[in-house]
Amino acid sequence: MSFLILVRHGQSKWNLEKKFTGWVDVDLTKKGIMEAKKAGTLLANEKINIDFYYTSLQLRAINTLKIIQEELGDQKKFVEAWQFNERHYGALTGLDKIEMSKKIGDKKVHELRRSWDIKPEPLKKESPYHPININTYDQVPKKFLPDTESLKDTYDRVIKFFEENIKEKLRINNILISAHGNSIRALCKNLFNLNANQISYLEIPTGNPLIIELKENFKIVKCEYLDKDRARDLLIF
């Protein structure tokens, strides 16, 4: 048996402001820091020895992981991978979600946010929010810096990295991934065998560890959120 622990970062500044964030590298709010601390405390109570840690290149996920490690008293080095970054929202990046709903309607916003293979319009390269203009991504080859992404695009990069770098380790190791709503949804789609319609309804709460217990053949034995008060429907259990 082994454990895969998925944690969406704590509340970010643009989560609070209800903006489409994507690849913009914003940090945690005070509430987000507290969510990360609680995640670490809940994990410490589980007494699971974590062998490997992974996160994205984005501050909100990295700092969530650092806070969790502080609470665990574990200073192992962790791997930062751009493949675990949030989905890129294209031209929606930086826009207010509520205002966009008023402008184009809830149905269209939901389609752009949650559909499997529909992408928002590309973000112009001269935008300060484009990844080529954000120092965080200086070391990522430009061919991998997107103008926009669908969930399918996000799924493809997340699962390729997962299968090439993490999956085999899971046979005998416990692994924690601190990432984002859509990169975690991509992992859940793969692990839970959800279809394109089901994944549009999967909500991932901030700062709430999702613990997945696996057999060596990767069959899921048990799956649950540690903070029961903020748990969401996993669609499978």
- Note whether residue 169 is domain-resident: no
- Note whether residue 26 is domain-resident: yes
Side by side, which strands form the sheet with 52-55?
79-80, 52-55, 175-179, 2-8, 210-214, 220-225
Closest residue by Cα to residue 69 from 83, 87, 57, 55: 55
- Note whether residue 236 is domain-resident: no
- Note whether residue 170 is domain-resident: no
Q: State mean pLDDT over 140-151.
A: 97
- Note whether residue 101 is domain-resident: yes
Query: What percentage of the chain carries pLDDT values higher than 70?
Result: 99
Q: Which amino acid is at 52?
A: F
Instruction: Exactly one of 86, 88, 149, 180 is catalytic; name it.
Output: 86
Question: What is the distance between the alpha carbons of residues 214 and 1, in angstroms, rounded to a whole number?
Answer: 6
- Note whether residue 235 is domain-resident: no
In the chain, the number of structural domains is 1
Q: Write the CATH number for 27.
A: 3.40.50.1240
Greater pLDDT, 222 or 113: 222
Question: Which tens digit of pLDDT belongs to each residue from 177-214?
Answer: 999 999 999 999 999 999 998 998 899 999 999 999 99
Domain hosting 124: range is 2-163+175-230
- Note whether residue 51 is domain-resident: yes
pTM tops 0.85: yes
- Note whether residue 145 is domain-resident: yes
Question: Which tens digit of pLDDT belongs to each residue from 21-64?
Answer: 999 999 999 999 999 999 999 999 999 999 999 999 999 999 99
Closest residue by Cα to residue 94 from 18, 19, 13, 17: 19
88 is catalytic: no
9 is catalytic: yes
